[in-house]
A and B are shown apart, each in its own frame.
Chain A
Amino acid sequence: MPETTLADLQPGQSGTIAGFTNEDDPTVQRLAEMGLLEDEPIRVVRLAPIGDPMEVEVRGYFLSVRRAHARLIRITPQV
């Protein structure tokens, strides 16, 4: 079964962060510092006009994340 990442969520969908797909990516440090960490609920709010980047809500604030980086974040989708 293919892994679900943040990039797969549609606007309005929520999930819980399950980890990172590649811990060695330098971007991971920034994502983690911004509070995107395991067990944290996250919601995709909307997408930019061309579908990239995406606006997400995490820890009560809003963040713009590129799809390429959203793919670094593994997600357990909310059922």
Chain B
Amino acid sequence: MTALTPTPSEKKTFRVALIGNPNTGKTTLFNALTGFRARVGNYPGVTVETRTGALKGSNGAVQILDLPGTYSLSAHSPDELIAVEVLTGIHSVEAKPDLLAVVVDAANLERNLFLATQVMEIGLPTVIVLNMVDAAAEAGITVDGEKLAERLGVPVLPTSASKGKGVDAVATLLRGQSPPAPPATDHLFPPEFEREIDALAAVLRDADQNALAAEPVLLQRALLDQDGAAEERLADAAGEPVRTHLKEARQRLSDQGIRIRTVEARMRYGHIRGLLTDVVSRPEESKDSLSDKIDRILIHRVWGTLVFAVLMLIVFQAIYSWSAPLMDAIDAVFGALGDVVTAAMGEGPLRSLIVDGVIAGVGGVVIFLPQILILFAFIALLEDCGYMSRAAFLMDRLLSRCGLSGRSFIPMLSSFACAIPGIMATRTIEDRRDRLTTILVAPLMSCSARLPVYVLLIGAFIPERTLVPGVLGLQGTVLFCMYLVGFAFAVPVAMLLKRTLLKGKTPSFILELPSYKMPQWRTVIHRVLERGQAFLWRAGTVIFAVSVVVWALTYYPRPESVATETEAAYATEIAQAEAAAQSGDAEAQATLEETLARRDSAVEGALLRQSFLGRMGHAIEPIVKPIGWDWRIAMAVVASFPAREVVVATLGIIYDVGGDAAEDNPDLREKLRTAKDPQGNLIFNLPVALSLMVFFALCAQCAATLAIIRRETNSWRWPIFTFTYMTVLAYFAALVTYQVGMLFM
């Protein structure tokens, strides 16, 4: 091979872009090449997540960029557009890569070569990674890689990335000299079409867009993809005349009998058929594959639905009960830490800040990490083995009823863990309205940040009763119901949005059902840890900051007079108790201690009522009275605006503030259960707990979610809309819950 293209040098990094269809093992290959060390990045403005990582053993000289999976360069979604922009060198941040590595599935070569041949036409040095050759061989499919390489004019490297086979050869090639650019494919399109490309280039040059005019692939895309991303790009750069020109050009082609929507596929698949003659051998009769046998049950009319429902129920039961021992351990660690600091420091604002603000705040968040990890483990596992697309298949009809598609299922399910990755996952939804609808209802899914609220309140107010021995308890069932609440509201909300604000036709839903495969444990674990880390980052920044602010709001202004006045009110009673205790009588001693504890709580209570947060709570109490809340709950909810999970930290601080150091660190649940107002009535009862849970299930108390909506929709309109509709919805649902609940009390 005569290589004349640049080779990796010390000075300049050699940049390789990985591209391929979804389900080709692209990410597995990426992980294998980079040794699981990737930098996850977001481009400004578009927020499509990409990973970059240095090739293992290249000392950073070779950088690999993992582009979003796509079936075609036709770029119907922002995800696909990123791939096209990077590959054609018009991207704002990423420079044109030095080498393109197209990952193709050996068992599905014909369709995979559709993208591969598109990529090769870009004219950059290209290699084909023929992945999953082992799995193909098991199905009786063999590919003559050498012959294919000869026909395509580019290197073809057979691999089985999940088993690590062939990865070294790929790494060696990427480290070494770059192969030459693929030979130009001539006359794939009819001459009439080529003439229109030239005409379009002329229009762009007239508009001073020489860089764009020099990208034939981009021009091709603009012409082929009506209302597609490339058209947008050209119109943005060169104005409306380009749009008019494109419209007329398509009409001219149509008049000449060229069908713009199918011309490329017809030409390309014809070309691919020629390329693959005598290259791929398949068994005569395709025997029933294992995947097919599994699907006979997993997407069976009855069994499939049942398996799906049971699976979801298991997931939620698991995150509720499996995580308990880990959570207890974390609780103990933070509790001990608080005790150590309390013992080591003198009383005062600093100790209060560290113990009640910092340690309690961070601890109250970290404690839910086990549940988040378990949930993400399930999601990663289902995704990796191929079940996720079956779930989308099963759920499509249901979602299409509210104008969405099965594609919205994965973002929605992800939103059960956190709306932020969920909203980010909507980028794979092609239809803009569909995507927006999914974004707007995704925060209704009960995310992991609500879980702390549910867990706390369920633990405190729902009795531990077994419904099905060993499998299902009442608490787990209530938790499951809380998850259903959000989903149950999401359906009518989506329906309403699609019929009013976001009216439009139902989008296409064409989804591949890939073969099942054994999950890659390393990949699953890696993804789970990545997500856990992301959660902790949020905990470490936003939530930590909020915890400290909330602590300050509850601690200050702390007027001296409030404390003295309250203490004075207890002075006589304490003096009497002290006198009685002098005798050494154990009962009298206990009375004294109890009285002192009551005084301390009263002082803290008085201070809290006078705190900034307490005043805020008092101010909105009239509004929240009908939903059963007192000012303390109101202030916790106000404080949780930046992030829902903060409500637990706030409740923790609110109820810890009056905590007696002599007591044996009673947990928050107990405090909620026994919390009384000054008249001695319980603040919380079952309807109040349910009302609070329903409110949290439906409200938009999450600054990060609103921020991500702002970023994804590029407008403040949608986050404001989301916050408003969700808060109104949450308030009225909580109202109904409380009022109905009180009828049974």
Q: Closest A residue to B72 by CB, please name it.
A: A33
B299 touches A46 (CB 8 A): yes
Q: Given A33-B74, A64-B510, A69-B508, is A23 in contact with B261 using a C-beta cutoff of 8 Å?
A: yes
A30 touches B76 (CB 8 A): yes
B449 to chain A, nearest CB (A): 32
Residues of A in contact (CB 8 Å), total 36
Does A1 belong to the interface (CB within 8 Å)?
A: no
Residues of B in contact (CB 8 Å), total 49
Q: How far is the CA of A29 from the CA of B268 in the complex (A)?
A: 13
Q: Closest A residue to B112 by CB, please name it.
A: A61
Within 8 Å CB of A49, what residues of B? Answer: 299, 301-302, 304-305, 394, 397
Q: How far is the CA of A63 from the CA of B261 in the complex (A)?
A: 20
Q: Closest A residue to B405 by CB, please name it.
A: A66
Does A37 belong to the interface (CB within 8 Å)?
A: yes
Q: Given A33-B265, A48-B396, is A61 in contact with B72 using a C-beta cutoff of 8 Å?
A: no
Q: Closest A residue to B513 by CB, please name it.
A: A62
Partner of A66 from B266, B394, B396 at Cβ < 8 Å: B396
B261 touches A28 (CB 8 A): yes
Q: Given A30-B510, A49-B305, is A64 in contact with B261 using a C-beta cutoff of 8 Å?
A: no
The 6 closest A-B pairs by CB, nearest first: A32-B265, A27-B508, A62-B513, A64-B511, A29-B261, A50-B397
Within 8 Å CB of A50, what residues of B? Answer: 397-398
Does B286 belong to the interface (CB within 8 Å)?
A: yes
Q: How far is the CA of A64 from the CA of B400 in the complex (A)?
A: 14
B110 touches A60 (CB 8 A): yes
Does A77 belong to the interface (CB within 8 Å)?
A: no
Does B506 belong to the interface (CB within 8 Å)?
A: yes
Provide the A37-57 mask, 1 if CB < 8 A to any CB of B, else 0.
Answer: 110000001111111110100
Does A26 belong to the interface (CB within 8 Å)?
A: yes
Q: Given A24-B261, A49-B304, is A29 in contact with B396 using a C-beta cutoff of 8 Å?
A: no
A-B contact pairs, 8 of them (CB 8 A): A29-B224, A33-B71, A35-B114, A37-B262, A59-B111, A61-B111, A64-B393, A64-B512
Within 8 Å CB of A62, what residues of B? Answer: 291, 512-514
Q: How far is the CA of A62 from the CA of B23 in the complex (A)?
A: 12
Within 248-280 of B, Cβ neighbours of A (below 8 Å) are at: 259, 261-262, 264-266, 269
Within 35-80 of B, Cβ neighbours of A (below 8 Å) are at: 71-72, 74, 76
Does B185 belong to the interface (CB within 8 Å)?
A: no
Within 8 Å CB of A32, what residues of B? Answer: 261-262, 264-266
Q: How far is the CA of A28 from the CA of B261 in the complex (A)?
A: 7
Does B509 belong to the interface (CB within 8 Å)?
A: yes
Q: How far is the CA of A65 from the CA of B225 in the complex (A)?
A: 21
Task: Using A48-B393, A60-B282 as known contacts, list a sample of 14 further A-B pairs with CB atoms less than 8 Å apart, ordered by residue number in A.
Answer: A29-B225, A35-B110, A35-B111, A37-B266, A48-B396, A52-B397, A52-B400, A55-B513, A61-B108, A64-B393, A64-B510, A64-B511, A64-B513, A68-B506
A45 to chain B, nearest CB (A): 7
Within 8 Å CB of B305, what residues of A? Answer: 49
Q: How far is the CA of A37 from the CA of B406 in the complex (A)?
A: 24
- From A33, A48, A59, A65, name the one whose CB has the most chain B CB atoms within 10 angstroms: A33
Does B295 belong to the interface (CB within 8 Å)?
A: yes
Q: Closest B residue to A53 by CB, please name it.
A: B396
Within 8 Å CB of B393, what residues of A? Answer: 48, 53, 55, 64
Does B194 belong to the interface (CB within 8 Å)?
A: no
B720 to chain A, nearest CB (A): 32
Q: Closest B residue to A19 by CB, please name it.
A: B262
Q: Given A37-B266, A62-B512, A68-B506, is A55 in contact with B397 using a C-beta cutoff of 8 Å?
A: no
Does B240 belong to the interface (CB within 8 Å)?
A: no
Provide the B283-303 mask, 1 if CB < 8 A to any CB of A, else 0.
Answer: 000100001100110010110
Q: How far is the CA of A24 from the CA of B227 in the complex (A)?
A: 13
Q: How far is the CA of A25 from the CA of B507 in the complex (A)?
A: 11
Within 8 Å CB of A27, what residues of B? Answer: 508, 510
Does B226 belong to the interface (CB within 8 Å)?
A: yes
Within 8 Å CB of A34, what residues of B? Answer: 71, 111, 510, 512
B512 touches A63 (CB 8 A): yes
Within 8 Å CB of A68, what residues of B? Answer: 506
A residues at B contact (CB < 8 Å) = 20, 23-35, 37-38, 45-53, 55, 59-66, 68-69
Within 8 Å CB of A60, what residues of B? Answer: 107-108, 110, 141, 282, 286
Within 8 Å CB of A25, what residues of B? Answer: 261
Q: Given A35-B110, A49-B305, is A55 in contact with B299 using a C-beta cutoff of 8 Å?
A: yes
Q: How far is the CA of A30 from the CA of B389 in the complex (A)?
A: 18
- From B111, B266, B512, name the one whose CB has the most chain A CB atoms within 10 angstroms: B111
Q: Given A33-B72, A35-B269, A49-B397, is A64 in contact with B406 using a C-beta cutoff of 8 Å?
A: yes
A48 touches B394 (CB 8 A): yes
B396 touches A64 (CB 8 A): yes
Provide the B104-130 mask, 1 if CB < 8 A to any CB of A, else 0.
Answer: 000110110010000000000000000
B670 to chain A, nearest CB (A): 46
- From A23, A47, A51, A61, name the one whose CB has the most chain B CB atoms within 10 angstroms: A61
B396 touches A52 (CB 8 A): yes
Q: How far is the CA of A62 from the CA of B292 in the complex (A)?
A: 10
Within 8 Å CB of A66, what residues of B? Answer: 396, 400, 508-509
A28 touches B262 (CB 8 A): yes
- From B72, B261, B296, B301, name the one whose CB has the most chain A CB atoms within 10 angstroms: B261
Within 8 Å CB of B301, what residues of A? Answer: 47, 49
Q: How far is the CA of A41 from the CA of B524 in the complex (A)?
A: 37
Q: How far is the CA of A26 from the CA of B166 in the complex (A)?
A: 40
Q: How far is the CA of A60 from the CA of B269 in the complex (A)?
A: 14
Q: How far is the CA of A27 from the CA of B76 in the complex (A)?
A: 11
A26 touches B406 (CB 8 A): no
- From A37, A53, A55, name the one whose CB has the most chain B CB atoms within 10 angstroms: A53
Q: How far is the CA of A59 from the CA of B282 in the complex (A)?
A: 11
Q: How far is the CA of A54 from the CA of B291 in the complex (A)?
A: 16
Within 8 Å CB of B304, what residues of A? Answer: 49
B269 touches A37 (CB 8 A): yes
Within 8 Å CB of A31, what residues of B? Answer: 510
Within 8 Å CB of A52, what residues of B? Answer: 396-397, 400
Within 8 Å CB of B292, what residues of A? Answer: 45
Q: Given A29-B74, A60-B107, is A23 in contact with B396 using a C-beta cutoff of 8 Å?
A: no
Q: Given A23-B262, A33-B71, A52-B396, is A63 in contact with B110 using a C-beta cutoff of 8 Å?
A: no
Q: How far is the CA of A64 from the CA of B396 in the complex (A)?
A: 10
Q: How far is the CA of A59 from the CA of B277 in the complex (A)?
A: 14
Q: Closest A residue to B111 by CB, please name it.
A: A35
B265 touches A37 (CB 8 A): yes
B509 touches A64 (CB 8 A): yes
Within 8 Å CB of B397, what residues of A? Answer: 48-53
Within 8 Å CB of B506, what residues of A? Answer: 68
Q: How far is the CA of A36 from the CA of B199 in the complex (A)?
A: 31
Q: How far is the CA of A4 from the CA of B397 in the complex (A)?
A: 23
A40 to chain B, nearest CB (A): 8
B286 touches A46 (CB 8 A): no
B292 to chain A, nearest CB (A): 7
B14 to chain A, nearest CB (A): 31
